[in-house]
Amino acid sequence: MLSLLKSLLKRRRSVSLAGNGGLRLLNLGCGTMRDSAWENYDFAPVDSGVKPIDLGRPLPFPEASYEVCYMSHVLEHLPRQRVPQLLSEMFVTLKPGGVIRLVVPDLEIIARVYLAELESAVTGDPAAVRRHEWMTLELIDQITRSFSGGFMLRTMWSRPLPHRAFIEKRVGLDGRKWIDLADADGGSLERRIQPSEIYTLQEPADKEARRFRQTGENHRWMYDRVSLGRLLQESGFQDVRVCGAKESSIASFSDYNLDTDECGFVRKPDSLFMEALKPSL
């Protein structure tokens, strides 16, 4: 039954993409989330289907050359001062009437869930104390970490994993694969640490930590619907709006399986999804 469902989904997807009218679709900082109907770029291409790009430099694309520009979980890794300039370059790259779709960790939602768990934790609820600890990691860890995965990964690799269902809901499909590593048969001991060891394991020396921070894994800034919406407007975009992972003004967007998988599950549920338009002539 599952194989039949996947076959039907794949067939529906191929039909919808065949009728995209020859639109040029640009996916910047794609990582492993890419589709052959798009032109995919990343700083460290994973295969020949992805072209290299350094988003710290001006975009190399001709003016008004794409109908759609998509960027997921990239802006937060860039220096704050680079982002307004990059959005302005994306504006120039889009054709009049073109769509920009941005996905970033949602600072507002993370903060709201953190405060809710904080209020529950101060009442002495032991389960809320654990959830509050995780939400503190979501707020701080990827900004401050000095080693790959940080304390978030150490927590996901700990066994027993406290409040697993809550954490899995927060990290979504992309994060769940790291939890699964600790469950796999033959998993290494470093993937099966005790919860009490999460904050006591040796961190790297200062020199190694500085080298790690140059890899780009750390978050350089965080955004919410107000701050990101303002940046889009200041770059010239109009009709700025928050949308869902499965909602888009891009034709058949959900069929590309960029923000969701083939079954419709959201890859990064902690995300803010925003779209805007370049004004038509």
The residue among 272, 274, 255, 250 whose CA lies nearest residue 97 is: 250
**Residue 20 pLDDT greater than 60, yes or no:** no
**Which pLDDT tens digit goes with each residue over 24-76?**
999 999 999 999 999 999 999 998 999 999 999 999 999 999 999 999 999 99
Confidence (pLDDT) at 8 = 37
> What's the pLDDT tens digit per position in 171-208?
998 888 888 877 775 445 455 666 666 776 677 788 88
Q: How far is CA 195 from the centre of its chain?
A: 26
Which residues make up the CATH 3.40.50.150 domain(s) of the chain? 2-106+223-277
What average pLDDT does this structure show over 138-162? 89
pLDDT digits (tens, 9 = 90+) for 118-143: 999 999 999 999 999 999 999 999 99
**What are 39's two structure tokens?**
């032109």
Which tens digits make up the pLDDT trace of 94-123? 999 999 999 999 999 999 999 999 999 999
**Amino acid 276: pLDDT:** 98
Return the CATH number of the domain spanning residue range 2-106+223-277. 3.40.50.150
What would the mean pLDDT of 69-93 be, rounded to a whole number? 97
The pair of three-digit structure tokens given for residue 114, joined into one six-digit string:
């953190």
261-272 per-position pLDDT tens digit: 988 899 999 999
Q: Residue 2 — very low, low, confident or very high, per pLDDT cuts 50/70/90?
A: very low
CA distance 156 to 94: 40
pLDDT confidence of residue 158: 85
What pLDDT sits at residue 182? Answer: 75
For 231-256, write each residue's pLDDT tens digit.
Answer: 999 999 999 999 999 999 999 999 99
Confidence at residue 197, expressed as pLDDT on a 0 to 100 scale: 67
Q: What is the pLDDT of residue 233?
A: 98
pLDDT beyond 60 at 92: yes
pLDDT for the residue 140: 96
CA distance 11 to 239: 33
pLDDT of residue 11: 38
What torsion do the CA atoms of 178, 179, 181, 182 make, to the nearest 10 degrees?
140
Show the tokens assigned to 188.
């290494």
Residue 21: what pLDDT? 63
**What pLDDT does residue 267 have?**
92
Confidence at residue 204, expressed as pLDDT on a 0 to 100 scale = 77
Confidence check: pLDDT of 1 > 50: no
The stretch 6-23 carries a mean pLDDT of 47
Residue 215 has pLDDT above 90, yes or no: no
